[in-house]
Amino acid sequence: MQGQGEQFKSQKSKVKSQNSTYDLRLTTYDLPSPCSLLPKLTADGSYTFFSTEFGEAYHSQFGARQEAEFKFVEPTQLRQKARQQKSLRLLDVCYGLGYNTAAALTAIWDVNPNCDVEVVGLELDPTVPQAAIAHNLLNDWSPLVPQLTQLATTHQLTTDRLQAKLLLGDARQSIQTLQASGFQADAVFLDPFSPPTCPQLWTVEFLGYVARCMHSSGILATYSCAASVRAALQTAGLKIGSTSPVGRRSPGTVASWNDLALPPLSQEEREHLQTRAAIPYRDPQLCDSAEIICQRRIQEQQTSPLEPTSRWRKRRSKNAN
């Protein structure tokens, strides 16, 4: 955001859903260039942004708000943890608009208003959380807006029950610094853009650092069920489970150091991990481009003794018939 001389402006835009057109009046700040993020309506009435750089929306079209709740807050069992613990630590990988953190804080303080919370968010582009505040997209969590506004603008915040900071820049570097500090998260939200689009944050090496930032009883949740992601989490030493689909056919993934409380994988999901789709992304020095990381995986798949995934799918389909 710009300085104290900012002017508010009213912007009227039309957002179309499948069956109707909504007139949306948005109060916005004058945002710093090159921020051109405009709200996009999702099916549950909440809004997201679309990234022209990655060619993807920040949330599922089925509902940004419900994705934060059902893909991240519930699978990490934050309400149960808040009832049992006086303090909690959260790691939000790809903080983005701030929905996951907002939903998590709301859930925690709903059941334990006195719980002390520490949040660390990793974010490449500081204009994204700023734009979310400017467009009033966090108003579903209105009691938190002043705190999240400060976090988006100054990148750090300390109150009587919340300590939060955004580590800006390449998350591959930030996670190394965080791990060296001894940070241990009770819950991790792993929410980058999709693996083919942003493989840098789904590699064996990156997820290894993420795992080492998890408490022994911590739980990681992600929307992705890609076999490559699940294999990388297993390589990091974590046990994995499957979460229920939310607004889509594909489930999500949860991971922890033990599997006592994790929903089990289905037979199909276990078989999928025995195919070439489970070859993970690799980035040995945590500095390679997306193109190099993807090419390295393709080369490894071509020489792998694992069954080609397409052959497995055909065989499974034939057996089902």
User: DSSP letters of 220-284?
Assistant: EEES---HHHHHHHHHTT-EEEEEPPSSSSS-EEEEES--TTSPPPPHHHHHHTTBGGGPPB--T
- Does 308 reside within a domain? no
What residue type is 99 in one-letter code?
Answer: Y
- Does 216 reside within a domain? yes
- Does 140 reside within a domain? yes
- Does 313 reside within a domain? no
User: pLDDT tens digit string along 4-54?
Assistant: 333 222 332 333 333 333 233 233 333 333 347 889 999 999 999 999 888
Residues 6+ apart with CB under 8 A from 73: 79, 100, 103, 104, 107
- Does 57 reside within a domain? no
**CATH number of the domain encompassing residue 222:** 3.40.50.150
In angstroms, rounded to a whole number, what is the distance separating the alpha carbons of residues 123 and 192?
Answer: 10
For residue 1, name the pLDDT band (cuts at 50, 70, 90): very low
In angstroms, rounded to a whole number, what is the distance separating the alpha carbons of residues 321 and 317?
Answer: 6
Specify the pTM: 0.87
- Three-state helix/strand/coil letters over 54-104: CCEECCCCCCHHHHHHHHHHCCCCHHHHHHHCCEEEEEEECCCCCHHHHHH
Residue 321: predicted pLDDT = 63
- Does 144 reside within a domain? yes
Print the domain residue range for 137.
Answer: 65-278
Residue 257: predicted pLDDT = 97
Residues 6+ apart with CB under 8 A from 302: none
Q: Which of 49-53, 58-62, 267-271 has the highest mean pLDDT?
A: 267-271
User: pLDDT tens digit string along 242-259?
Assistant: 998 876 678 999 999 998
User: pLDDT tens digit string along 82-133?
Assistant: 999 999 999 999 999 999 999 999 999 999 999 999 999 999 999 999 999 9
User: pLDDT tens digit string along 119-152?
Assistant: 999 999 999 999 999 999 999 999 999 999 999 9
DSSP state at residue 203: B
Residue 29: predicted pLDDT = 34
Q: Residue written as tokens 């957002």?
A: 15
Residue 286: predicted pLDDT = 98
- Does 79 reside within a domain? yes
Q: Residue written as tokens 């499957």?
A: 242
Residue 26: predicted pLDDT = 35
Name the average pLDDT for the chain: 88
- Does 192 reside within a domain? yes
DSSP state at residue 136: T
Domain count, the chain: 1
